[in-house]
A and B are shown apart, each in its own frame.
Chain A
Amino acid sequence: MPETPLQRALRDSVQEVLEKMFFVEPVEEPPGAADAPEGEMAVQLAFEGLPSGALTLRLTTAAARQIAADFLGEDASGLSPVKVEEVVCELANMICGSVLSRVESTATFRLASPRLLGAEERPDRRQAADGRAVHAVSVGSGTLTASVETRDPVCPPVEESGF
């Protein structure tokens, strides 16, 4: 399936956010490979604009702990679960904002607060499709999977045409 504008925006956003603020070089993985047997956490946030939809982020527990420690400049062993969750929520917020800034250059968007998904809420593990982008990466200590689902079509960015 050719890469959609949304897929490209998601891939570029994950890379930029992880490299700039988490000091991690993400290595792409096929989405199916990211279903880890060990514990994982999931965060979801809804957005309103053109398009509207939601972003879901899944991280293996070890990956969440390590990237939280790196972001805060602290040692992973001393980090509380609350602090890890706060960092993962901010990671989701930044990826989502970055994606929307790439696909919406003129309209204003609004992000809801990210919320942690409970163990009983199963994150959607479907593959990429129309209006849905999925991107999975290894972040050294584990795996991160980001998916964006939109309710409206995403148009490619307007390109300058010279007449």
Chain B
Amino acid sequence: MAYRVLIVDDSPAMRSFVRRVMELSGFDLAVCFEAGDGGEALKVLNSEWVDAILTDINMPGMDGEELLRRLSADEVLRAIPAIVISTDATANRMDRLATLGARGYITKPFVPEDLRAVLERTLGDPNA
């Protein structure tokens, strides 16, 4: 299966890193959209379908939590699995994100293999 993915993070370096982990994990990326914050992400989703969203939380403009809130409020967009990649590991934040429908969560810093495990748990094993 060829995946269409959206990576949302205000750090271009982190977007590259996440993309590389996805590719090395065996996910065949047909398209990889990138957005610097939640607002840019919603603009992409206005016109493009994606199979998965990987998003940071702390971003200028619209943050990841607000993005998840908007996705979960939309009948169509709420079906897209969203994985959160964030430095914030506080219990408060994680509880809220689970309520907002995040299907996977990983805390920075992480080893690439741990992100692969989250991707496989959320999206399935691409090599199966």
Contacts and interface: CB of A to CB of B under 8 A. Distances in A.
Interface of A: 16-17, 20-21, 68, 71-73, 83, 86-87, 89-90, 93-94, 96-98, 100-101, 104-113
Nearest to B10: A113
Contact of B87 (A89, A93, A105, A107): A93
A105 B95 CA distance: 13
Contacts of A105: 90-91
A90 B14 contact: yes
A16 B109 contact: yes
Contacts, number: 71
B108 A89 contact: no
B126 interface: no
A17 B109 contact: yes
A86 B109 contact: no
Interface residues of B, number: 23
A68 B11 CA distance: 13
B91 A86 contact: no
A98 B108 contact: yes
B89 interface: yes
A89 B109 contact: no
Given A17-B109, A90-B14, 6 more contacts: A71-B17, A94-B87, A106-B90, A108-B93, A109-B90, A111-B58
Interface string B16-50: 11001000000000000000000000000000000
Contact of B108 (A73, A86, A97, A108): A97
B13 A71 contact: yes
B2 interface: no
Given A72-B16, A89-B11, A113-B10, A20 B111 contact: yes
B11 A20 contact: no
B69 to A, nearest CB: 15
Contact of B90 (A93, A96, A107): A107
Given A101-B89, A108-B90, A94 B13 contact: no
B127 interface: no
A89 B93 contact: no
A71 B108 CA distance: 13
Contacts of B108: 17, 21, 94, 97-98
B124 to A, nearest CB: 25
A26 to B, nearest CB: 13
